[in-house]
Amino acid sequence: MTSQLFFFLFIPILVLILLLVNLLLATHNPYEEKNSVFECGFHSFLGQNRSEFSISFFIFALLFLLFDLEILLVYPYIVSAYVNGFMFELGKNALSIDSRQNTIEK
């Protein structure tokens, strides 16, 4: 069985089985707040209103995302440049060491 055939057959079957298990075994307990309109016209629960937070959390998250993506994009270049540079040095015999111990003086 090829991997492509496996993914096209097994994954949809697995998804359907898991959805059916969820529908059969999950508790179903609707109530007025759960079925009410969300966002537009939403009445918040007591004490769960949106509160102010420090902007430093937002800046920290943006910087983390920026540097995380930078590392993700730069890492393959660094690995390939290292391998290519190493092969270039091997081709130019830059890594060979001329030892004077092996030479025989006449």
Given a cut of 60, is residue 106 above it in pLDDT?
no
What φ, ψ does residue 23 adopt, rounded to 5°? -65, -35
Domain locations along the chain = 1-26+57-105
- Regarding predicted confidence, which is higher, 85 or 10? 10
Task: Note the pTM of the prediction, 2 decimals.
Answer: 0.32
91's tokens: 């081709």
* pLDDT (mean) for 70-87: 79
- Regarding predicted confidence, which is higher, 105 or 86? 86
Q: Which residues of 22-57 are buried (b: 16+ CB within 10 A; e: fewer)?
A: eeeeeeeeeeeeeeeeeeeeeeeeeeeeeeeeeeee
